[in-house]
Structure 1
Amino acid sequence: MRHLTILAGGLAASVAAGPAMAATGPFFSLHNTDFVVLLGFLVFVGILIYFKVPQRITDALDSRAQGIRKDLDEAKALRDEAQALLASYDRKTRQARADADQIVATAKADAEGAAEQAKVDLEKSVARRIESAEEQIESAKASAIREVRDRAISVAIAAAGEVVAGQLSAAQAKKMIDESIETVSKKLH
């Protein structure tokens, strides 16, 4: 409150020295407006210094500068961190692409190898089937030849039996049967 009284006194002095009191006479007189303005200005500056306004302004500007510097440092740190993350992401992306390319190349090589192996296996399987079919054909052919031979033998025996039966007498037939039984009996024992 005391400070306001001093301020009001300085203000009242500057109002009392109105325009009617122009800069006339000696400089160091309350009737000289330039001197009154100078005194008012000095009182005003004195009040500012007394209340430490310049120091407060300086402190406020310093704290603001420190805040800005802190914000700038934080922004720089965040930018550096973002750049590090971006570089890490780029490295991981390149590594993932390289891994994917390697997997594709390996899969392609495995597929080609599997295709070659499947081709070889298929050729072997076809060869086995052809061989098996040829064996079956040979077996069927041998079986058919045996069947035809057996049939021919049966027909020949039947025909020979009829011819022999017509030419042999009962005594000769009995003699031949006995000889056959004796021959079979010798071969079995």
Structure 2
Amino acid sequence: MRYLTVLIAMAATPAFAAEDAPHGLLSPSLGNTDWIVFLGFLLFLAVLFYFGVPKMLMGMLDNRAAGIRSDLEEARGLREEAQTMLASYERKAREVEEQSARIVADARASAEAAAVQAKDDIARSITRRLAAAEDQIASAVTKANRSVRDRAASVAIAAAAEVIAKNTSSADQNKLIDESIEEVGRRLN
């Protein structure tokens, strides 16, 4: 484009210098600068056509158009591939979300079942401990009653022995001992 501008500027310079010459393309004369410029332009176009510049330009434009077409096709292919990958990722995301929901539901159900089992285990443990405590209490009560009876019997026997020893003579004591031995003998048989 720069060369064309320079060429036109050089060709136009003589036209402005020759103001006396008749103007127009209808008066062909080498003195007519318009005519010289016209011939130079035609010569320029002939040189361009001789060297095949229009074909080269058209070929370059066609190559550029083909490159743009191939870039567009490649872009379409990449877009389709990206859409396919996006759909795949969205599907996988849904699957992962569903799987995580199932895992959470299973974990929640397991936790609830474990809680119910723990409650049952605690209830059984409490029942066993209560029963064991009641048995221990009953055993302690029985022991305490036995201990109290034994102690009361010991105290009563000691008191009775003391009273009997003070109030009875030795003959009476021997008689009581013999009667007691006979009573024990009868009860054992």
What's the TM-score, normalizing by structure 1?
Answer: 0.69
3-state SS in 2 of match to 1:109 = helix
Aligned to 1:167: 168
Residue correspondence of structure 1 range 23-172 to structure 2 within 5 A: 42-165=42-165, 166-169=167-170
Indicate the residue corresponding to 1:187 in structure 2.
none
Letter of the aligned partner of 2:82 in structure 1? A
- Structure 1 residue 64: Cα displacement: 0.5
> Per-residue CA shift, 1:125-184, capped at 9, x if unaligned?
11112111111110111011110111122122213322443425179649959x97xx9x
**For the Cα contact (< 8 Å) 1:23–1:33, is it kept in 2?**
no
Equivalent residues of 1:48, 1:54 under 8 A apart: yes
Residue identity matched to 1:160? A
Q: Could you tell me which residue of structure 1 aligns to residue 187 of structure 2?
A: none
Change (3 A) 1:168 1:99: farther
Change (3 A) 1:37 1:131: same
CA distance in 1, matches of 2:79, 2:26: 66
Aligned AA for 2:170? S
CA 24–175 in structure 1, closer or farther in 2 if over 3 Å, else same:
closer
Quick one: higher RCO (CA 8 Å, sep 6+), 1 or 2? 1
Deviation track 1:7-32 (CA, whole Å, cap 9, x = no partner) reads 9xxx7xxx7xx96164658xxx7699
- Percent identity of paired positions between Structure 1 and Structure 2: 50
Q: Offset of 1:87 from its aligned partner?
A: 1.3
TM-score (norm 2): 0.69
User: Gaps spanning 5+ residues in structure 1: where?
Assistant: 1-6, 184-189
Question: 8 Å contact 2:23–2:34 — kept in the other structure?
Answer: no
Query: What is the letter of the counterpart of residue 97 of structure 2?
Result: R
Q: After TM superposition, what 4+ stretches of structure 1 lie above 4 angstroms from structure 2?
A: 21-25, 29-42, 170-177
Equivalent-residue separation in structure 2 for 1:151 and 1:94 (angstroms): 83
Q: 1:75 to 1:22 in 2, by over 3 A?
A: closer
Q: Is the 8 A contact 2:25 2:34 kept in 1?
A: yes
